[in-house]
Amino acid sequence: MTTAAIFGLLGTELSKAERDFFRSADPWGFILFARNVEHPDQLRRLTGDLREAVGREAIITIDQEGGRVQRMRAPHWAEWAPPLDDAGRGPQAMRLRYRLIGQELRAIGIDSNCAPTLDIASDETHPFLQNRCLGRDVASVVANGRAVADGLLEAGVVPIMKHMPGHGRAVADSHKETPLVSAPLDELNQTDFATFRALNDLPMGMSAHIRFSDLDDAPATASARMIGVIRDEIGFDGLLMTDDISMNGLSGSIGQRSAAAIAAGCDLVLHCHGHMSEMEEVVAEAGEMTPDAIRRGDAALSARRAPDTAPAAELLAEYRSSGGQVDWPHA
What is the set of active-site residues?
175, 243
- Going by C-alpha positions, the residue among 234, 86, 92 that lies closest to residue 150 is 92
β-strand 64-66 against 69-70: which pairing, if any? antiparallel
Q: Is 126 helix (H, G, I), strand (E, B) or coil?
A: coil
Q: How far is CA 211 from the centre of its chain?
A: 20
Dihedral of the CA atoms 7, 10, 11, 16 (nearest 10)? -80
CA 104 to chain centre: 17
Cβ neighbours, 10 Å, residue 291: 8
Q: What is the DSSP string of 215-272?
A: T-SS-GGG-HHHHHIIIIIS---SEEEPSPTTSTTS-S-HHHHHHHHHHHT-SBEEE-
- DSSP character at residue 287: -
